[in-house]
Homo-oligomer: A and B are copies of this chain.
């Protein structure tokens, strides 16, 4: 992975539905190298009281003959950072670091891929779906949100997916309930071979649980609080159960892996969900994180983008 630090320019800003904003940013160095699941860490230019960048998954990329490539992010307003991004105008500068993180691993052979997204968390799955489709995989989608207003781009999801299930907690669209209510049946019906998911922590845990029971490989994209986004601050860690590396000295154990560098995409079966808030009891930091066994049993995987290697912690 080799991230750039570039000054992007806002090409367009759109309001999507009641709650979401999207920004399309001209930044060819980023747009042309980013892979699905990777993220950008951005900051408007100016003197604000909040000093840190803000991380966003890449939602889409656009390359059009003759035009500079752009990437698009989509977000909801949570605090000062997103408020300020939502107030940007066309031609405003945006300080962009990226692409960052590891990204999803794509299947090597034709696979039936199930994408499970919750709320705004579904953002990276649209970019992933586009790439999976280009590579000829079958895509099914489960998209959930609290209410229909918060469903991310259900239209696109329906277009991209062979089967698309929608859930809302208030029943304002699709089935009433949460994505995991329909997950098991959908996996069966679609014959899914690998699951990709992104959304709230609790949803990821539940999806990983269902997939674990079904012995299905599941790649989860987590969102941890990040100060740096490129691996130096150690604030974004997530506890993983890790195996001993081939030829490595460690014995395996629990590792706090950086979600900005070793992640944000992890093997759902490795993540220690329940221990999230408390420190793991034992930890073997000498062990190495090996790339998650994310390959579906029936298909091999390749990294989603050029250079999207998993780098061991400490790198």
With A and B bound together, what is the CA distance between A97 and B9 in angstroms?
A: 36
Closest Cβ of chain B to A50, distance in Å, is 7
Closest Cβ of chain B to A277, distance in Å, is 29
With A and B bound together, what is the CA distance between A47 and B46 in angstroms?
A: 11
Q: Which residues of B contact A50 (CB under 8 A)?
A: 47
With A and B bound together, what is the CA distance between A84 and B48 in angstroms?
A: 11
Closest Cβ of chain B to A80, distance in Å, is 5
B-contact bits for A27-56, CB 8 A (1 contact / 0 none): 000000000000000000001111100000
Closest Cβ of chain B to A278, distance in Å, is 34
CB of A47 within 8 A of CB of B47, answer no
With A and B bound together, what is the CA distance between A51 and B51 in angstroms?
A: 15
With A and B bound together, what is the CA distance between A50 and B80 in angstroms?
A: 15
Number of copies: 2
With A and B bound together, what is the CA distance between A84 and B47 in angstroms?
A: 9
Closest Cβ of chain B to A217, distance in Å, is 43
Closest Cβ of chain B to A225, distance in Å, is 19
With A and B bound together, what is the CA distance between A9 and B216 in angstroms?
A: 59
Q: Which residues of B contact A49 (CB under 8 A)?
A: 47-49, 51
Question: 8 Å CB contacts to B: which residues of A57-101?
Answer: 80, 84
Q: Which residues of B contact A47 (CB under 8 A)?
A: 48-50, 80, 84
Closest Cβ of chain B to A88, distance in Å, is 13
**Residue from A47, A48, A51, A84 with most neighbouring chain B CB atoms (10 Å):** A47
Closest Cβ of chain B to A84, distance in Å, is 8
Q: Which residues of B contact A84 (CB under 8 A)?
A: 47
Q: In the complex, what residue of chain B is closest to A80 when comparing beta carbons? A: B47
Q: Which residues of B contact A48 (CB under 8 A)?
A: 47-49
With A and B bound together, what is the CA distance between A50 and B46 in angstroms?
A: 12
With A and B bound together, what is the CA distance between A268 and B298 in angstroms?
A: 90
With A and B bound together, what is the CA distance between A257 and B48 in angstroms?
A: 34
Closest Cβ of chain B to A223, distance in Å, is 23
Closest Cβ of chain B to A99, distance in Å, is 28
With A and B bound together, what is the CA distance between A48 and B48 in angstroms?
A: 4
Question: 8 Å CB contacts to B: which residues of A177-224?
Answer: none
With A and B bound together, what is the CA distance between A51 and B49 in angstroms?
A: 9
Closest Cβ of chain B to A261, distance in Å, is 29
Q: Which residues of B contact A80 (CB under 8 A)?
A: 47
**Could you jot down 9 A-B contacts, CB within 8 Å?**
A47-B48, A47-B49, A47-B50, A47-B80, A47-B84, A48-B48, A48-B49, A49-B49, A49-B51
7 A-B pairs besides A47-B49, A48-B48 with CB distance below 8 A are A47-B48, A47-B50, A47-B80, A47-B84, A48-B49, A49-B49, A49-B51
